[in-house]
Amino acid sequence: AKEPVRVLVTGAAGQIGYALVPMVARGVMMGPDQPVILHMLDIPFAAEALNGVKMELIDAAFPLLKGVIATTDVAEACAGVNVAVMVGGFPRKEGMERKDVMSKNVSIYKSQASALEKYAAPNCKVLVVANPANTNALILKEFAPSIPEKNITCLTRLDHNRALGQVSERLNVQVSDVKNVIIWGNHSSSQYPDTCHATVSTKDGEKSVPALVNDDEWLRGPFIQTVQQRGAAIIKARKLSSALSAASSACDHIRNWVLGTPEGTWVSMGVYSDGSYNVPAGLIYSFPVTCKNGEWSIVQGLSIDDFSRKKMDATATELTEEKALAYSCLN
Ligand code: NDP
């Protein structure tokens, strides 16, 4: 039998956490034959609720779940973890300045970085979900210098999956037949959902999405806006955030990272930029990646037209500004 993998979920008593932990316990994240031990962290204010989640996990009798730790102690939460999904963060509240939210999150991610560095298993893989996700991940990277930069990522897979969903609805094809959309940049409304290289599997082979849609105006307008604004649309409809789809895509992100992407398929991940596609190095920026043997690599050599270039640059500029704001909060 396989040794259990330890998976940390921070903010585990929150909306996304509540949707995510049962998926992890069912094998959606690490695979159907991989036992897991869940480490759940939350703040003292949420401790009682967190304990309730632990009770439910016990009650669900998940065969793969080999242990549950529910704690408000960061060191205990991080001890020996192989995968860390960082969902906890300070929420945007009405009337708060961007700088105030940033400042709160910078201090959270700075201290959690130190705890992961000290207590996590070597080669721990980190996924940051809490917003501003790219910049939180960057701060985490800066303050956990012994964790390889390749191990620190942020979630743009939800945006990627939303883009697949929109194409599938528009073309009336199965979402599983659509692939290779790209989310470039920030997990914010400046992100660029790109279908230039996306394809659909048909009985006559792979067809290009722009050719099948045959409506550049839609692909460059309403499609992009729908993906960018989907989170707000869900909040409007549900009066709650998109926790189910966020949790599901966090599982997709880690599963593909650990177990690999299918041949010929890429996914979007926020990763530390090496300057590929002239994206400034040193940002956490969403790129198309393939994964193999537990490592991601940025897909190289895709052609970038003028429209795409502008959108990719605009979201990079926003991230550069966020980075500067985050650093100003450190001082
Ligand atoms: P959620 O579980 O709904 O969201 C958690 C974080 O994920 C937020 O930062 C949210 O950003 C972000 N996020 C990213 N993508 C999405 C998406 N598609 N849909 C929704 N959210 C997304 O928040 P809750 O308030 O329910 O839970 C947060 C938990 O974190 C609580 O249990 C709380 O106790 C804990 N917490 C921990 C702190 C710490 O570790 N020090 C500090 C504060 C809270 P956005 O805000 O932009 O929606």
Of all protein residues, the one whose alpha carbon is nearest to atom 4 of ligand 1 is: 16
Cα gap 8→165, rounded to integer Å? 29
Ligand 1 atom index nearest CA of 50: 32
Residue closest to 255 by CA, chosen among 325, 175, 161: 161
Ligand 1 atom index nearest CA of 246: 18
Residues 260, 261, 266, 270, Cα dihedral to 10°: -40
**Catalytic-residue membership of 253:** no
| C-alpha 201 – ligand 1 centre gap (Å) | 36
Q: Which of 160, 187, 197, 253 is catalytic?
A: 187
Which residue intervals of 29-152 are DSSP H helices? 47-59, 74-78, 98-119, 133-142
- Maximum C-alpha span of the chain: 59
Q: Which residues of the chain have pLDDT under 50?
A: none
Ligand 1 atom index nearest CA of 41: 40
**pLDDT tens per residue, range 277-329:** 999 999 999 999 999 999 999 999 999 999 999 999 999 999 999 999 999 99
Cα gap 191→199, rounded to integer Å? 20
Q: In the chain, what are the helix, strand and coil shares in percent, each to the nearest 5?
A: 45, 20, 35
Tell me, what's the pLDDT at 95? Answer: 78
Q: Which of 9, 10, 15 to mutate to test the pocket of ligand 1 (most atoms within 8 A of CB)?
A: 15
**What is the ipTM, given to two decimal places?**
0.93
| C-alpha 116 – ligand 1 centre gap (Å) | 19
| C-alpha 129 – ligand 1 centre gap (Å) | 8
